[in-house]
Amino acid sequence: MIIDGRNYGGVCSCGKVHEYETEFCIIEKGCLARADEYISKHGFSGFCVAVYDENTYKATEGLHPQADKEIILNPENLHANEHGVELAMKEIPAGCDYLIAVGSGTVHDITRYCAYLLKIPFVSCPTAASVDGFCSSVAAMTWEGCKKTLIAVAPRIVIADLDIISKAPMRLTRSGFGDMIGKYIALTDWKIGVILKGEHFCKVIYDMTLEATKAVVESADGIANGDISAYEKLTYGLLLSGIAMKLLGNSRCASGAEHHISHFIEMQPEGFGAISEALHGEKVGVGTLIARREYERLANAKNISFRDYPKIEDGYIKEMFGTLTDSIIAENAKDSADGITAELLYEKWDEICAVISSVPSYGELLECYNKIGACTTLSDIGIGEDKLSMLLEYSPLVRNRVTLMRLRRAIIEDN
C-alpha cells in the first residue's frame, strides 16, 4: 500500500490551503530492505545519521538503511523529553544533512525534534504500529515535567515494513490501536468546538481521520489472528492520522479529552498521587473509554441544567498541580471555553447530544478492545479506580481546548 501525500495538499473546499510534508509512504512486507532505494529516489543525499534504540536496532538487524553514523540509544528510561533529545543531539555531528528514525514513538519524537533544531529533513522507518504520530509535524514531549506539543518536522518519506511491524511486541500494537480509537472522542470534541465556538472545520480532514479510525476498528479481528493485512490497516490508519494533523496545522482532529487524560497521568501532578508505567496508547485507550462513558452518561441524563462557563481560579489549579502550577495557569490564561453561556448550552445541547450519539457506544468500543486484549480500565494501567473523579475534573486543564470534558464545569446535575 502506498500513500501519496501530494494527493492531500493544496486549496481545500474548507477555504484553507493545506500544506503537506510527507510526500510518500509505503506500507508493505520487506520494504525496509529497499530503504536506500526509496531514500535516494526522493532526493536525499549527503551525510546521514540513523537513530535507533537497542531494541529496534536488533529488530531490524540485516536491514539497516545505509548511514554514515548510527546512534543506538539505551531504551531503559528513554523518553521523549529534553534528556532524550540531549542524548541524540550530542551524537549528531555538525554538517549532518538528514536523519533516519528507526523505531517507534519515542525514537521518532526525539529524531523529529532534533531534525527541527538542525533544520534538516528526516526519514521515518516505524518498527511497530504503536502511535499515530509518525507523520506528525509536532513532537509530543514531556518538557521540564509538563506535557507539551512542540514544533518539529514531519518525515519526508515513511518506509513501514510489515514484516518488522507484525513481529513487534503485541503490547506496542495494542498501544497503537488505543491511540487510534481515541479519534472518535477527538472528532466529537472538535465538532463540539465548532458548534459552540465556531472553530474552523474541514470536512475533508474530518472524514480522512474518521476513515483512518474505521480502518483500525476493522483490523481488530485480524490483529487477534495475526493477519498481516490487519497490520497493514492499522499502520495505514496511524499514518493517515498523522498526515491529517499536518494538513490541519494542529492536533484538533486527533486529540481531545482522551489524550488529555493520558497527558494528565504522564505529567504526574502532585495532587494526583499516582504513577503509571503504561504506554501512551494504553493510557489513551483507557482515556477513550472513560470519556465515551462520561459523554454517553451526560447525553442521556434527564436532570441537568447549565450555568455560564466559570473562570478557572489559580488556587484551584495549584491544589492539584503543585510545582506545575505556573505552566498550567499559562496554558489556560486565555480559556478556550470563555464566553460559553448557559443560554448557548441550552440552545445547542440537542445538537451536541446528536454528535455524541454518532460514534460507537461505550459497549461497542469495549467489545472491540476485548478482541485484541487491550487495556480497558484504570487498574489495567496501574491507576486506582478511586482516581477517576480527579481525572474527569482536572485532565481538561492540561490542554486549552474546548471539549465536553472541560464543559462539565458548566453542567449542573440535579439529584
Kindly list the domain boundaries of the chain, sorted by start residue: 2-168, 257-413
* Residues ≥6 apart with Cβ < 8 Å to 348: 195, 196
* pLDDT at residue 6, as a whole number: 81
* pLDDT at residue 143, as a whole number: 76
* pLDDT at residue 78, as a whole number: 82
Q: Does residue 170 register a pLDDT over 80?
A: yes
Q: Does residue 415 register a pLDDT over 70?
A: no
The whole-number average pLDDT for the span 380-396 is: 97
CA max distance for the chain: 68
pLDDT tens profile 314-362? 999 999 999 999 999 999 999 999 999 999 999 999 999 999 999 999 9
* pLDDT at residue 189, as a whole number: 98
Average pLDDT score over the chain: 93
**% of residues, the chain, pLDDT over 70:** 100
> Which of 251, 258, 252 has the alpha carbon at shortest distance from 292?
258
pTM value?
A: 0.90
234 vs 223: CA distance, rounded Å: 9
User: Is 3.40.50.1970 the CATH number for 2-168?
Assistant: yes
Q: Does residue 81 register a pLDDT over 90?
A: no
* pLDDT at residue 20, as a whole number: 85
pLDDT tens profile 298-316? 999 998 999 999 999 999 9
* pLDDT at residue 180, as a whole number: 94
CA dihedral (150, 154, 159, 163) positive or negative = positive
pLDDT band at 61 (very low <50, low <70, confident <90, very high): very high
* pLDDT at residue 379, as a whole number: 97
Least confident range from 105-109, 175-179, 385-389: namely 105-109
* pLDDT at residue 141, as a whole number: 76
Distances (CA, A) of 286 to 182, 256, 298, 357, 379: 9, 13, 19, 19, 10
Q: Does residue 294 register a pLDDT over 70?
A: yes
* pLDDT at residue 129, as a whole number: 94
pLDDT band at 144 (very low <50, low <70, confident <90, very high): confident
* pLDDT at residue 44, as a whole number: 96
pLDDT tens profile 215-249? 889 889 999 999 999 999 999 999 999 899 889 98
396 vs 406: CA distance, rounded Å: 5
274 vs 393: CA distance, rounded Å: 16
